[in-house]
Amino acid sequence: MPAVFNGHSLLFIALCLLWFAASSMTGVSSKAVLTAMPAPVSLTIAQFASAALCAFAFAFAPLSQSLLHSKPHSAAVILRAAAPLSVFQVAGHVFGSLATAKLSVSTVQTVKALSPLFTVAADRFLFCANYSSLTYLSLFPLTAGVVAACSQDLSAHPLGLVCALLSALVFVAQNLLGKKVLSPDSPAKIDHLSLIFYSSAIAFCITLPVWLYCDVLPFLLRVSPVSIAVSPLYLGAAFFFNGLCHFAQNVLAFALLSITSPVSYSIASLIKRIFIIVFSILWFRQPTRPVQALGILSTFFGLYLYDRAKLVSKSRDALLPVSEKSQPHPSRSSDN
């Protein structure tokens, strides 16, 4: 068997396909839940609860110990590191659920493709980072493509677009913080399952009063009860399935980063974004106008250029002598 098809490569391909499938099903099941019951906060808190419970149970699985390199850590140390991430996680998921309730899954994912633009802007103006000309060039087709793809929703659903943008901004901020938490130089040195469990559990506790006020209290007082368009059994099954897919996509993202380089993970993440957009359009049989199709293609091209620019930059930096402290470490972007 050729070297390109060795066991490690097959594992990488299998995990990528599972990651793409889990992420796509999370998106379409979230839209299905919110269509049946327009309660974004309920969906958000259900995802946090599912992630915390699954992470707690999954931590005892032998496979997780070897694949995710999980090991016990001090709860106090993990809590101090995971608490700030949880605040960003709550805001990002709530805005994301609000956007999904108003917009199509493909539109939400297209708006979130602006994350490289926000990342470059934050690094440039907050941390005085320098980027190559190709990186800045890639932002033009990326931004123009997102605007064209979302042109139909600019006037129809402005609130949904604002929520999608805010969700992307929040997750970019979470990524910048997560790079320090997940770095090998971090004093916490948190393992992945512990991070999922504690951050999801804290996020659940933060979201709980918001959920009680926004969804439970109006339902009990019958002020503005949430209308349910399907049977409670179907809705419960949809919530359960969505929670499992949400947890699976996070675990698979960690598993991929554990067996591959940050560059390969970045390329896989780019393909995943494209896969979700195309899958959701086909799944919901979403009609796409020529200007929207051109915008989506321009977004894909911009993401490709941005990823190539990062690859060239990493290859160039690898040829330069660096000190042990300045050497870059892999970090995992938030999966959303």
Residue 207: predicted pLDDT: 95
pLDDT digits (tens, 9 = 90+) for 125-183: 877 878 888 888 988 998 898 888 887 776 678 888 999 999 999 988 877 776 665 55
For residues 280 and 187, what is the distance between their CA atoms, to the nearest angstrom?
A: 41
Residue 24: predicted pLDDT: 94
**What tokens does 4 get?**
């390109």
Task: Name which residue leads in pLDDT, 19 or 156.
Answer: 19
Task: Kindly tell me if the per-residue pLDDT of 185 is higher than 80.
Answer: no
Residue 315: predicted pLDDT: 62
Name the band, by pLDDT with cuts 50, 70 and 90, for residue 322. Answer: very low
Task: Name which residue leads in pLDDT, 271 or 44.
Answer: 44
Question: 259: buried, middle or exposed (CB in 10 Å: 19+, 13-18, 0-12)?
Answer: middle
| Neighbour count for residue 34 (Cβ, 10 Å) | 21
Residue 84: predicted pLDDT: 80
Q: What is the residue whose two structure tokens read 């946090």? A: 48
pLDDT digits (tens, 9 = 90+) for 21-79: 999 999 999 999 998 888 899 999 999 999 999 888 877 665 555 545 545 556 676 77
Task: Kindly tell me if the per-residue pLDDT of 272 is higher than 50.
Answer: yes
Task: Kindly tell me if the per-residue pLDDT of 87 is higher than 80.
Answer: yes
Name the band, by pLDDT with cuts 50, 70 and 90, for residue 321. Answer: very low
The alpha carbon of 265 is separated from its chain's Cα centroid by a whole number of angstroms, namely 13
Residue 28: predicted pLDDT: 93
Which DSSP string corresponds to 13-80? Answer: HHHHHHHHHHHHHHHHHHHHHHHHS--HHHHHHHHHHHHHHHHHHHTT-HHHHHHS------HHHHHH
| Neighbour count for residue 144 (Cβ, 10 Å) | 16
Task: Kindly tell me if the per-residue pLDDT of 201 is higher than 80.
Answer: yes
Residue 21: predicted pLDDT: 95
Contacts of 308 (CB under 8 A, 6+ apart): 134, 138
Percentage with pLDDT > 90 across the chain: 26
Residue 47: predicted pLDDT: 94
The answer to whether residues 264 and 12 touch, using CB atoms and an 8 Å cutoff, is yes
> In this predicted structure, which of 44-53, 228-237, 258-267 has the lowest mean pLDDT?
258-267
Task: Name which residue leads in pLDDT, 184 or 23.
Answer: 23
Residue 100: predicted pLDDT: 92
Q: In three state form, how does the secondary structure of 257-303 look?
A: HHHCCHHHHHHHHHHHHHHHHHHHHHHCCCCCCHHHHHHHHHHHHHH
Q: What is the residue whose two structure tokens read 């200007």? A: 291
pLDDT digits (tens, 9 = 90+) for 288-316: 888 888 998 998 898 888 888 877 776 66
Residue 219: predicted pLDDT: 79
Nearest to 111 by CA among 155, 158, 157, 147: 147
Residue 326: predicted pLDDT: 39
Question: 66: buried, middle or exposed (CB in 10 Å: 19+, 13-18, 0-12)?
Answer: exposed
Give how far Cα 62 sits from Cα of 35, 59, 70, 73, 232, Å. Answer: 38, 8, 10, 17, 35
Mean pLDDT over each residue of the chain, to the nearest integer: 80
**What is the average pLDDT across 262-282?**
82
Residue 254: predicted pLDDT: 79
